[in-house]
Amino acid sequence: MTLPRFLGFFLLLGFASSAWADKLKVLLIDGQNNHNWKATTPVLVDALESSDRFAVTVSTSPARNGSKEQWAQWNPDFSAFDVTLSNYNGQSWPENVQKDLEKYVKEGGSLVIVHAANNSFSNWLEYNRMIGLGGWGGRTEKNGPYLYFSDAGKLVRDPRPGRGGSHGPQHEFTVKLRQKDHPIVKGMPAEWKHAKDELYDSLRGPAENVEVLATSYSSKSKKHEPMIMTISYGKGRVFHTPMGHADYSMRCVGFYDVVRRGTEWAATGKVTLPLSNNFPTADKVVSVSRK
């Protein structure tokens, strides 16, 4: 290798290293879920990394039948990342991992919750405060109120008794903006069509410091259910979307943009990513092509 080519090689390495350093570092946690995480994690990684704004590291937990030794060795370093994204729904994490996540977010870290990640940890109070609302796992009025919009466009905190979490058959549904000027949703159509998905309804929880940015009407609950939310927890920012049941649900262009922008906002408090040119309309679902 001649000297100019040798120098050029190292300059290229330096440029690549700098480009990587400029990206937001995402820790994506999976390993257990009542959904097919092995199919959805690659889609989430593609949604983020194809924007050229994120570098994703996947941390896969031990399996449900994992040994004590395996669980003792699984200890994600949340503080090494700009934001943590959970694609996890399974058995409780070790207490030290729980405490690490609490400390990380409370002191200014960032968390992203996608779909069934809000089913997890119904008995972990601080997790429920972080995510605002959750479903299943034995959640009831003891976990907090239902949160939804009325037909009149008012946010309702409903403390009536009942289980938390439900959904009807999968279908395409409309996402309606409620806070059109928030950076995550700014520029989106007032209403847009999302791909076939589970429309979660009747979520409930502490619902502290929650801002609902968009809803979808559930014909099952007869309520306008939260679909895009932000939550403040200590000094940290949390982005939460109940959308994303399956890989085909996540391949919605609208979902890609929601996750990208929500993750960037959680990490930085700002959104620089533009909407896709082919963002869905009020009457048309647009999906990302399979690779």
8 Å CB contact between 56 and 28 = yes
What does the domain layout of the chain look like in residue ranges? 21-268
d(CA 114, CA 242) in angstroms, rounded, equals 6
Paired strand residues for 237:
110, 232
Task: Return the pLDDT at 7.
Answer: 52
Residue 97 is predicted with a pLDDT of: 98
Q: Tokens representing 166?
A: 């439900």
Q: DSSP states of 33-97 as a string?
A: -SS-HHHHHHHHHHHHHTTTSEEEEEEEPPPTT--HHHHHH----GGGSSEEEE---SSPPPHHH
Among 19, 130, 120, CA closest to 64: 120
CB atoms within 10 A of CB 1: 8
Enumerate residues 6+ apart whose C-beta is below 8 A from 8.
Answer: none
Domain topology for 21-268: Rossmann fold (3.40.50)
Burial class, 10, CB count within 10 angstroms (exposed 0-12 / middle 13-18 / buried 19+): exposed
H or E element at residue 111 = strand 110-114
| pLDDT tens across the length of the chain (291 residues) | 555 555 555 445 454 444 556 999 999 999 999 999 999 999 999 999 999 999 999 999 999 999 999 999 999 999 999 999 999 999 999 999 999 999 999 999 999 999 999 999 999 999 999 999 999 999 999 999 999 999 999 999 999 999 999 999 999 999 999 999 999 999 999 999 999 999 999 999 999 999 999 999 999 999 999 999 999 999 999 999 999 999 999 999 999 999 999 999 999 999 999 999 999 999 999 999 876
What Rg, from alpha-carbon coordinates, does the chain have?
Answer: 19
pLDDT at 19: 53
Predicted pLDDT at 290:
76
